[in-house]
């Protein structure tokens, strides 16, 4: 794919006409048409304005390749790998992370306070599913491990309560 093709498809993906992009880039509509036809290549300052207007990267417009820092694979590989403990589902109201883990799992994530539990049938997850939790419960709706008088349970919450133990961030289902 050429710069001309990347420019045209990205412009259309953003729902912009040539005239609308020309206004954003501060050039004329025929200039945009010329670039999209492959007649000329934008100068560096214009390329910068195009990339900004289309929320993309200049290097990608020129070469079709994402810079390493923007590449999703690079972003994932740059995350640290943690070997998190997996515990049995807690029986009673004892802290499950104070028991001996049954095994460990390698997880790449930005969050370091992770642990996992083998899903209990009461959670509604398939047998063998590992539920990965973050102890630092983020303040957003989601599923939380909640401590009750009779033990722990998984609840859908829209706000945090004092009895929230951790937030569910991943579920890994066996195949």
Report pLDDT digits (tens) over 18-76: 999 999 999 999 999 999 999 999 999 999 999 999 999 888 899 888 766 666 777 77
Domain limits, the chain? 3-71, 79-172
CA atoms within 13 A on the CB side of 18: 12
Q: What is the pLDDT of residue 155?
A: 83
What percent of the chain has a predicted confidence (pLDDT) above 90? 43
Q: What is the pLDDT of residue 173?
A: 85
CATH class of 79-172: mainly beta
Average pLDDT over residues 127-131: 89
Lowest mean pLDDT among 12-16, 123-127, 149-153: 149-153
Fold of 3-71: 434 Repressor (Amino-terminal Domain) (1.10.260)
Band (82; pLDDT cuts 50, 70, 90) = confident
Dihedral of CA atoms 168, 93, 112, 99 in degrees, nearest 10, equals -130
In this prediction the pTM is 0.56
The domains spanning 3-71 and 79-172 adopt the same CATH topology: no
Q: Residue 152 pLDDT more than 80?
A: yes
Give the Cα separation of 40 and 78 in Å (integer): 37
């Amino acid at each position: 794919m050429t710069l001309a093709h990347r420019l045209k498809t990205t412009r259309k993906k953003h729902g912009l006409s040539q005239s609308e992009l020309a206004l954003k880039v501060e050039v004329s509509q025929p200039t945009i048409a010329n670039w999209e036809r492959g007649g000329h290549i934008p100068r560096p300052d214009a390329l910068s304005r195009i990339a900004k207007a289309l929320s993309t990267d200049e290097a990608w417009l020129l070469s079709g390749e994402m810079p390493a820092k923007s590449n999703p694979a690079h972003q994932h590989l740059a995350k640290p790998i943690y070997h998190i403990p997996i515990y049995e589902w807690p029986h009673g109201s004892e802290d499950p992370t104070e028991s001996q883990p049954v095994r460990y799992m390698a997880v790449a994530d930005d969050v370091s306070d992770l642990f996992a539990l083998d899903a209990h049938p009461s959670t509604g997850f398939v047998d063998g599913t590992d539920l990965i939790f973050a102890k630092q419960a983020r303040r957003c709706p989601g599923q939380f491990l909640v401590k009750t008088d009779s033990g722990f349970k998984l609840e859908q919450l829209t706000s945090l309560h004092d009895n929230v133990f951790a937030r569910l961030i991943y579920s890994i289902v066996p195949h």
